[in-house]
Amino acid sequence: MNAITLRTMMGDYPLTRALKSGDLVSPHEIFGFADVKTPNTAFDHGCDDDAQTATTSMIEETPWQ
């Protein structure tokens, strides 16, 4: 079975260090990491607005019991 490449974005944190450095590997997946220190810096403010709109719409449509 060939390993698949998963593209992901993870910040530089103590809990992700082994995975990002290659110390923790899997024969089934290869990770392609985006080069960011913290994930929130990779998004522009327009994404924040879209997320807020989507969350608000979901809450407004949820029936409360």
Structure confidence by residue, pLDDT tens digits, 23-56: 988 888 888 888 877 776 766 655 556 666 676 6
Cα 12 to Cα 47, 53, 57, 60: the distances in Å are 22, 29, 33, 36
Q: What pTM value is reported for the model?
A: 0.51
Percent of the chain with pLDDT over 70: 60
**Domain residue limits at 47:** 4-61
Query: What's the number of domains the chain is made of?
Result: 1
Beta carbons within 8 Å of 57's beta carbon, 6+ residues apart: none
Residue 12 half-sphere exposure toward CB, CA atoms < 13 A: 5
